[in-house]
Amino acid sequence: MTSLDEKFRKLATDNAPGQEVRQRDDDINSLMVGGTLPGAPIDFSHGDVDAFEPTPGAFDRFAQGVQIGGRRAYTEYRGDAAIRAQLAVKLAGFTGAPVAGSDDLIITPGSQGALFLALAATISAGDKVAIVQPDYFANRKLVQFFDGEMLPVRMDYLNAGEGAGLDLAGLEDAFIAGAKVLVFSNPNNPAGVVYSRSEITAISQLAGRYGVTVIVDQLYSRLLYKGQAYTHLRALDIDPHNIITIMGPSKTESLSGYRLGVAFGSPAIITRMEKLQAIASLRAAGYNQSVLQTWFAEPDGWMEERIRRHQAIRDELHATLIAVAGVTARLPQAGSYLFPTLPALTTAPGDFVRILRLQANVIVTPGTEFSPHAGRAVRLNFSQDHHAAMSAVERMIQLIGRYRA
Amino acid sequence: MTSLDEKFRKLATDNAPGQEVRQRDDDINSLMVGGTLPGAPIDFSHGDVDAFEPTPGAFDRFAQGVQIGGRRAYTEYRGDAAIRAQLAVKLAGFTGAPVAGSDDLIITPGSQGALFLALAATISAGDKVAIVQPDYFANRKLVQFFDGEMLPVRMDYLNAGEGAGLDLAGLEDAFIAGAKVLVFSNPNNPAGVVYSRSEITAISQLAGRYGVTVIVDQLYSRLLYKGQAYTHLRALDIDPHNIITIMGPSKTESLSGYRLGVAFGSPAIITRMEKLQAIASLRAAGYNQSVLQTWFAEPDGWMEERIRRHQAIRDELHATLIAVAGVTARLPQAGSYLFPTLPALTTAPGDFVRILRLQANVIVTPGTEFSPHAGRAVRLNFSQDHHAAMSAVERMIQLIGRYRA
């Protein structure tokens, strides 16, 4: 059992997206070489919802929710029953397995809320939890916060061929070692890779064999690039009482400002999640829940156009970066994250990230947030204005040159 | 250390406000006497935001937040810096002690979010926590969820004269026994009583003497009835590093559908709360934060009129209830909760609450949610349509007669 001091020390948010304003920069000046590079500031730590605007009709739905009044303000803790019923049909269709709106689904404050509640509902102090490296940084922090013991499993995304590159033997070792829960994102955050059908099948078989509960974060599973297949774990032969799927409209649909997410699957786990939500924040904001009525109901062609525009940015960004000596990066198969590995530099990786912000007005997220083995990588969310993103990456490349070892 | 099963079993929400729809009613029919009573359904478990509408301009501020776009969607985890700066000035003025917007304040998803984060930031497994009986049910549930040990302190609100009736000797006993944290609501939820200046002074002195961290939930501190004084604990001689004050616009201002709250005080505790918020829900919904700009900025006379209308309901409801043989209730000094004790009945108290819902379409919250010693009490949130509330209470009185022991 870690002390509260230790627990909150580990819960560092200094390098988390959006928190740069709280950093102290006194010590970095002595490391800087040369002057600043002019150009519009860009924040690759999250998507730009001004460049890719929220789903059409989202605000109108919110306004309707306010009009409905008290009945929408005070929903069940798990969310409005009518909205849950609508969502259940859409999510069952999308994922290819049944969802009962009454019992299998909870609406949460963002998919972050869903992840928090799902791990709280499944991890006791001392429980072993398999996590992937690299993967979304909150997975690690949540396991630590709930006093779980992490069993890391490597993902060799750079040399994976078609799949994500998960070390399946390593996963089985973690299960043999007693992992009670596996949590992972697919598409992977930060690498933008998609698990192949054979990888997902192997995960379902191993989870069944060892009785492991799987929490799969599918936040980016709608933004698949041309020709990319996607396998929903919950549609395979897996115990429906042992899986929770998490999604939300914050990324592809640019609705993060409304803080909406969902978790669906095991009714017993959903019930626990609701009990905890009752004391954590009561419910996802009632009026905001109405906005979920736009989800999976976007205008014809809207999603295709959104994917096309992201694909254009991805292609140019990726080609530009890998043309730089010493930069390696896999072409993302889904989502809007690019995770290049940089060449050896004269500064420590964390310092380079701060220098990039101070000298080039470019914010990226350090690779160490996602894996202790990704110190030379940085994550870029390229859901940005295309031109501004390219200009920012040019500045980043200039600084790579300036600080190259 | 309790098991996860045990932890979530204790976290029962079946009797929590708004969760009645999830109850099974198969077993109650055999206990019912007579038929149903006609009348408009009323839900006293929370306020009716259709009868008492949200602050004027709230929706317009939200719409402005959406217009601002990405900058408002992605705030610091602790909330938008400009909004925090504005709030800090207002809250310092209201409570009579300084608040620094930069470091002393966090915006949360409702005051429930603030309470959750504040207790998570201060309680380790095994820590002793003083709680008041009766008090807001989530206090107890949160202490249990974080594996704290509750040290209950009684509040004899029925015989308290001017104050709340806190057992100050009992409080000191709890501190001597090792309480690390005290959490309480003022005005008290459910009893609607306000702690006197001498009670608050005693709490500040005892907290200082024993080094106890105090979390005070002042959610209803703006809705004070005619002539009622209020003492802000944080304005007394108390270590500012050992106190967190919680407020929010969900009740008096009817903004619950936006899920907004604040916690302010100790910067070290606020920092921990932000770190946890980063993995629990990221932030209070970004666009919604804009609505806080209406708070403490209501139109002239609006609050006075709101208090006047609540006072009229309070007076008639209270007079009607205490005229019934065997019913006792203290006149609320603040807020919109009335907590009458009912006479002995032929049914168990929990069954009477369910019968009231099924036979009279009246929802109340059982007293046992607030104190194990309040089995015969029920809580009514009388922030309702005046006429509908009176009609519902008449039906409740009829059923008291029908089931009187």
Q: pLDDT tens digit string along A65-76?
A: 999 999 999 999
Contacts of A280 in chain B (CB under 8 A): 112-113, 116, 280-281
pTM: 0.97
List the one residue out of B181, B184, B185 whose CA is nearest residue B148.
B181
Strands, sheet with B261-265, edge to edge from the N-terminal-most edge strand: B105-108, B261-265, B243-247, B213-217, B181-185, B128-133, B149-154
Tokens 């730089």 found at: A324
> For residues B195 and A108, what is the distance between their CA atoms, to the nearest angstrom?
36
Q: Which residues contact B326 (CB under 8 A, 6 or more apart)?
A: B342, B343, B344, B400, B404
> For residues B124 and A8, what is the distance between their CA atoms, to the nearest angstrom?
11
Q: Tell me A334's DSSP state.
A: B
Token pair for B355: 């019968």
Q: How many CB pairs (< 8 A) connect A and B?
A: 191
Q: Are both B209 and B358 inside the same structural domain?
A: no
Q: Are both B81 and B183 inside the same structural domain?
A: yes
Residue A36's CB: how many other CB atoms inside 10 A?
Answer: 11
Tell me the three state secondary structure of residue B362. strand
Select the residue of B11, B66, B288 nearest A59 (Cβ to Cβ).
B66
For residue A324, the distance in angstroms to the closest alpha carbon of chain B comes to 31
Interface of A with B in 87-116 (CB under 8 A): 108-110, 112-113, 115-116
Interchain proximity A49–B62, CB inside 8 Å: no
Interchain proximity A49–B73, CB inside 8 Å: yes
H/E element holding A258? none
Average pLDDT over residues B258-281: 97
Pairing label, strands A337-338, A378-381? antiparallel
**Cα within 13 Å of Cα(B214), Cβ side:** 30
Query: Quick check: A27 pLDDT over 80?
Result: no
Identify the domain boundary among A238, A271, A294: A294
User: B64 in a domain, yes or no?
Assistant: no
Q: Are both B92 and B109 inside the same structural domain?
A: yes
Token pair for B184: 């309480």
Identify the domain boundary among A294, A312, A336: A294
User: B27 in a domain, yes or no?
Assistant: yes
Q: Are both B80 and B200 inside the same structural domain?
A: yes
Percentage of chain B exceeding pLDDT 90: 91
Mean pLDDT is lowest, of A57-66, B157-166, B387-396, for B157-166
Tell me the three state secondary structure of residue B396. helix
How high is the pLDDT of residue B338? 98
Give a three-class secondary structure readout of B123-173. Answer: CCCCCEEEEEECCCHHHHHHHHHCCCEEEEEEECHHHCCCCCCECHHHHHH
Select the residue of B70, B125, B259 nearest A285 (Cβ to Cβ).
B259
- Cβ atoms of B206 and B239 closer than 8 Å: no
Q: Which residues contact B128 (CB under 8 A, 6 or more apart)?
A: B148, B149, B150, B151, B174, B177, B178, B179, B180
| Mutation target among A282, A288, A365, A369 for the B interface, most CBs of B within 10 A | A282
Mean pLDDT is lowest, of A5-9, A211-215, A355-359, B45-49, for A5-9
Give chain B's mean pLDDT.
96
pLDDT-derived band at A18 (thresholds 50, 70, 90) equals low
Q: Please, which residues bridge with residue B223 across strands?
A: none
How high is the pLDDT of residue A1? 58
How high is the pLDDT of residue A13? 74
Select the residue of B123, B279, B288 nearest A285 (Cβ to Cβ).
B288
Here the CATH number for the domain that contains residue B187 is 3.40.640.10
Interchain proximity B259–A16, CB inside 8 Å: no
Select the residue of A12, A19, A76 nearest B77 (Cβ to Cβ).
A19
- DSSP assignment of A5-61 equals HHHHHHS--TTSTT-GGG---TTTGGG--S-PPPS--EETTS--TTTS---TTHHHH
Handedness of CA A256, B13, A268, B115 (dihedral sign): positive
Q: Are both A305 and A279 inside the same structural domain?
A: no
- Cβ atoms of A337 and A381 closer than 8 Å: yes
| Mutation target among A10, A74, A183, A254 for the B interface, most CBs of B within 10 A | A74
Query: Quick check: B355 pLDDT over 80?
Result: yes
Interchain contact A302–B (C-beta under 8 A): no
Interchain contact B40–A (C-beta under 8 A): no
Contacts of A77 in chain B (CB under 8 A): 13, 16, 18-19
Handedness of CA B4, B7, B9, B12 (dihedral sign): negative
Query: Quick check: B21 pLDDT over 80?
Result: no
Interchain proximity A256–B3, CB inside 8 Å: no
Q: Are both B288 and B313 inside the same structural domain?
A: no
Average pLDDT over residues A372-395: 98
> For residues B86 and A100, what is the distance between their CA atoms, to the nearest angstrom?
44
- Cβ atoms of B189 and B335 closer than 8 Å: yes
Interchain contact A128–B (C-beta under 8 A): no
Interchain proximity A75–B18, CB inside 8 Å: yes
Q: Are both A231 and A329 inside the same structural domain?
A: no
> For residues B266 and B155, what is the distance between their CA atoms, to the nearest angstrom?
27
Give chain A's mean pLDDT.
96
Query: Quick check: B149 pLDDT over 70?
Result: yes
Torsion of CA A199, A202, A203, A204, to 10 degrees: 120
Interchain proximity B280–A112, CB inside 8 Å: yes
H/E element holding A94? helix A81-95
Domain total in chain A? 2
> For residues A262 and A281, what is the distance between their CA atoms, to the nearest angstrom?
15
Pairing label, strands B213-217, A378-381? unpaired
User: B60 in a domain, yes or no?
Assistant: no
List the one residue out of B15, B353, B259 whose CA is nearest residue A72.
B259
How high is the pLDDT of residue B45? 96
Torsion of CA A174, A365, A56, A259, to 10 degrees: 60
Q: Tell me B336's DSSP state.
A: S
Here the CATH number for the domain that contains residue A383 is 3.90.1150.10
Quick check: bond before B332 cis, omega within 30?
no
User: A58 in a domain, yes or no?
Assistant: no
Query: Quick check: B120 pLDDT over 80?
Result: yes
Contacts of A119 in chain B (CB under 8 A): none
User: A230 in a domain, yes or no?
Assistant: yes
- Cβ atoms of A211 and A179 closer than 8 Å: no
Q: Are both B279 and B397 inside the same structural domain?
A: no
User: B68 in a domain, yes or no?
Assistant: no
- Cβ atoms of A248 and A48 closer than 8 Å: no
pLDDT-derived band at B94 (thresholds 50, 70, 90) equals very high
Please report the beta strands in B36-97, taking only residues with DSSP state E, as ranges in sequence order.
42-43
Q: Are both A31 and A103 inside the same structural domain?
A: no
Chain segment B212-224, per-residue pLDDT in tens: 999 999 999 999 9
Interchain proximity A280–B283, CB inside 8 Å: no
Interchain contact A81–B (C-beta under 8 A): yes
Range of the domain at B14: 4-53+301-403
Chain segment B363-378, per-residue pLDDT in tens: 999 999 999 999 999 9
List the one residue out of A365, A400, A375 whose CA is nearest residue A43.
A365
- Cβ atoms of A289 and A125 closer than 8 Å: no
For residue B395, the distance in angstroms to the closest alpha carbon of chain A comes to 23
Interchain proximity B69–A81, CB inside 8 Å: no
How high is the pLDDT of residue A292? 98
Q: Are both B184 and B43 inside the same structural domain?
A: no
Q: Are both B288 and B346 inside the same structural domain?
A: no
How high is the pLDDT of residue A181? 98
How high is the pLDDT of residue B162? 86
Q: Are both A321 and A176 inside the same structural domain?
A: no
Percentage of chain B exceeding pLDDT 70: 97
Chain segment B188-201, per-residue pLDDT in tens: 999 999 999 999 99
Chain segment A341-360, per-residue pLDDT in tens: 999 999 999 999 999 999 99
| Mutation target among A281, A283, A291, A383 for the B interface, most CBs of B within 10 A | A281
List the one residue out of A260, A294, A265 whose CA is nearest residue A112.
A260
Tell me the three state secondary structure of residue A150. strand
Query: Quick check: B13 pLDDT over 80?
Result: no
Tell me the three state secondary structure of residue A385. coil
> If you measure CA to CA, which chain A residue comes closest to B13?
A275
Interchain contact A144–B (C-beta under 8 A): no
Of A54 and B5, more confident: A54
How high is the pLDDT of residue A379? 98
Identify the domain boundary among B245, B268, B294: B294
Chain segment A201-249, per-residue pLDDT in tens: 999 999 999 999 999 999 999 999 999 999 999 999 999 999 999 999 9
User: A64 in a domain, yes or no?
Assistant: no
How high is the pLDDT of residue A11? 84
User: B315 in a domain, yes or no?
Assistant: yes
Chain segment A123-156, per-residue pLDDT in tens: 999 999 999 999 999 999 999 999 999 999 999 9
pLDDT-derived band at A3 (thresholds 50, 70, 90) equals confident
> For residues B310 and B396, what is the distance between their CA atoms, to the nearest angstrom?
20
Q: Please, which residues bridge with residue B290 across strands?
A: none
Q: How far is CA A368 from CA A14, A23, A192, B271, B356, in A?
A: 12, 17, 16, 22, 57
